[in-house]
Structure 1
Amino acid sequence: MKIALVGCGAVTQAVYVPLLSRRRDLFEVSAVCDLSRTLADAVGERLGAAGRYTAVADMLAEGGFEAVLVLASGSHGETVRRALAAGYAVLCEKPLALTRAEVAALPEGRLMVGYMKQYDPAVRRAEELLASLGGAEIIRSVEVTVLHPSGESQLAFANLAQAQDVDAGLLSSLRAEESGLVSRALGESAPEAVRNVYMVSLGSICHDLSLLRRFTGSPAEISYVEAWGPAPGSIEITGPLPAAGRFAIRWHYLADYPAYRETVAIHHDKGTLELVFPSPYLMNAPTTLTMVAGAESRTEWRDVTEAFDVQLAAFHAYVCEGEAPLTDAGGALEDIVTAQRIAARYAVQHDLPIGGEAAA
């Protein structure tokens, strides 16, 4: 399948370039696009892509590919809208958008939203085990802890190409557009503390929301939200699960923490299923699944198959064979709604203004 990449930054260089380089049986990268010509040339050179652009509209108009991978930072809503309208299949990195309105504006088309943890072999195994035990109805609680070092420390090994050639005025304009989208989601008067909770929820905690969707369904209610420490700081979220039990997410940004660590523990009447995720930037580092059952029996399961690789293969199967993705626009919208509920609960608890879509 001939594909084009939008965004040539950290995730593209550290994850997608090496994976696409070794999956030439599935993909040929024919075009790349980034605001920085330096990054477009660097990634294009590594992947052998002849088409190198600094404007998405120019790349889509030129064509020569079947599908688009949207890997840039920020909201992806407008880029996805353009690609779908032009008839291309799209794999979009999370989050799909920053507002519900952006999702509503998307035309019909083939869209898969990338939450690579859903494709982790350990997660799929945990889903199977949970189903065999009785499904979401047996869960007493889901407890998540994320220890999140700085991106710089996580990517120090990657020797990334740096962008120094993007016009400062253009960057300022794009930041203003993104701020406007957040205002549409939360209201113009939403203070920085509320915006921070929302952006962390959509940018990082959304991975855990996506796992809740797979294990239990999206939470319909948020009971409690607290945030503390210098932004992005620490965030705690709790609430009921749709079938049974409750969830608790504790997310901590610790710039100098030794290594990324994420733990998801599903406690049920007969034991525990615990997932421990490594840094997402370490290719083929296994997630550990531990099953705790009767008489303190502990069984560990690992698989070095790379979740991003499985996700790419799933996108290929979606476009070429019609196999449904684990997250489409509807699933991504559920996560946006949950993030807005989180921001709204935090605002209400602290008597802070909230408006926009979240006020509903």
Structure 2
Amino acid sequence: MRIALLGCGAVTQAVYVPLLSRRRDLFEVTAVCDLSPTLAAAVGDRLGAARRYTTLEDMLAAGGFDAVLVLASGSHGEAVRRSLAAGHAVFCEKPLALTRAEVAALPEGRLMVGYMKQYDPAVRRAEELLAELGGPGVIRAVEVTVLHPSGESQLAFANLTQARDVDAGLLASLRAAESTLVSQAVGDSPAVQSLYGVALGSICHDLSLLRRFTGSPHEISYVEAWGPAPGSIEISGPLPVQGRFSIRWHYLEDYPAYRETVAIHHDLGTLELVFPTPYLMNAPTTLTVVSGGESRTEWRDVTEAFEVQLAAFHAFVNDGKPPLTDVGGALEDIVTAQRIAARYAVQHDLPVGGEAA
């Protein structure tokens, strides 16, 4: 499948370039696009893509590919809309957009939204075991803890090419446009906007796991945030079938390593997932199964979740196999993030506006 990449930043360089290099049996990268000519050249050189662009419009007009991978930062709504309208299949890194309106404006087309943890072999095994136990109806509680060091420390090993050649005025205009979208989503309170940014940028991974294990929560009971932004965030509420969930997310800039724990407690035991830093290829997630008599079994698989996700996109486009997250699932996460922002605003007597109101 001939593909084009939009966005040549940190995650593209650390994750997608090495994976696409070793999966040339599935993909040929024919074009790359980034605001920075330096980044486009670096990624194009590594992947053998002769066509390099600094605008999506120019890349779409030139064509020569079957699908677009939207890997840029910020809201992806407009880039996805234009790529679908041009007739291309689209893989979009989370989040799909910052507003529900952007999602509503998307045309029909083949769209898959990337939440790589859903494709983690340990997660899929936990899903199988949960189904054998009886599904969401047996869950008493889901408890999530995320310890999140700085992105720079997580990517220090990757020797990334840096972009220093993007026009400052262009960057300012893009940031202003994104700020407008955030205001349209949740209003103008800086505290509420900050919380919404974390919910859609990081906690959305855990919302995507809740979607797989239990379904998206329909209600948010409690939200608290403390510490210097982005700080620490606590979220809780009822699960759709029964039981409750809690998410505790902590930004700890100098913490030794990223760590994420998702524990599913049921009447007969616990399914516990411990995720390593997401940027280390083939570092396994550990699934610990606690069952009767305090029996503990650990399960690991070094198959890379990002790679399984890419293969799933190939199967989606070529064989029609549905992705784990389509536009509907991505929209559910946006709605849940807005409910989180709204609950926080109400609890702290802060203004909430836009779609979240």
What's the TM-score, normalizing by structure 2? Answer: 1.00
Q: Report what 1:319 is aligned to.
A: 317
Moved over 4 A (4+): none
CA distance in 1, matches of 2:248, 2:223: 10
CA distance in 2, matches of 1:267, 1:109: 38
CA distance in 1, matches of 2:46, 2:192: 40
How big is the shift at 1:326?
Answer: 0.2
CA distance in 2, matches of 1:236, 1:132: 31
Give CA-to-partner distance per residue, 1:4-29, whole Å, 9 cap, x none: 00000000000000000000000000
1:85-96 aligned at under 5 Å gives the runs 85-96=85-96
Secondary structure of 2:242's match? coil
Secondary structure of 1:251's match? strand
Q: Does 1:128 align with 2:128?
A: yes
CA distance in 2, matches of 1:36, 1:106: 27
Counterpart residue identity of residue 196, structure 1 = S
Q: Does 1:14 align with 2:10?
A: no
1:53-132 aligned at under 5 Å gives the runs 53-132=53-132
CA distance in 1, matches of 2:91, 2:285: 23
Q: Report what 2:265 is aligned to.
A: 267
Secondary structure of 2:82's match? helix
Counterpart residue identity of residue 299, structure 1 = T
How big is the shift at 1:191?
Answer: 1.4
1:305-344 aligned at under 5 Å gives the runs 305-344=303-342
Q: Report what 2:210 is aligned to.
A: 212
Counterpart residue identity of residue 57, structure 1 = E
1:147-186 aligned at under 5 Å gives the runs 147-186=147-186
CA RMSD in angstroms, aligned pairs only: 0.3
Counterpart residue identity of residue 308, structure 1 = F
Q: Does 1:248 align with 2:246?
A: yes
Q: Report what 1:294 is aligned to.
A: 292
CA distance in 1, matches of 2:190, 2:186: 11
CA distance in 1, matches of 2:211, 2:282: 24
Q: Report what 2:231 is aligned to.
A: 233
Secondary structure of 2:173's match? helix
Give CA-to-partner distance per residue, 1:96-127, whole Å, 9 cap, x none: 00000000000000000000000000000000
Counterpart residue identity of residue 268, structure 1 = H
How big is the shift at 1:308?
Answer: 0.2
How big is the shift at 1:331?
Answer: 0.2
Counterpart residue identity of residue 166, structure 1 = V
Secondary structure of 2:177's match? helix
CA distance in 1, matches of 2:63, 2:166: 24
Q: Out of 278, 281, 284, which is 1:283 matched to?
A: 281
Q: Structure 1 regions of 5+ residues with no counterpart?
A: none
Secondary structure of 2:8's match? coil
Counterpart residue identity of residue 228, structure 1 = W
Q: Report what 1:195 is aligned to.
A: 193
Secondary structure of 2:68's match? strand
CA distance in 2, matches of 1:192, 1:279: 29
Q: Report what 1:354 is aligned to.
A: 352
Give CA-to-partner distance per residue, 1:303-326, whole Å, 9 cap, x none: 000000000000000000000000
Q: Report what 2:35 is aligned to.
A: 35
CA distance in 1, matches of 2:160, 2:171: 20
Secondary structure of 2:18's match? helix
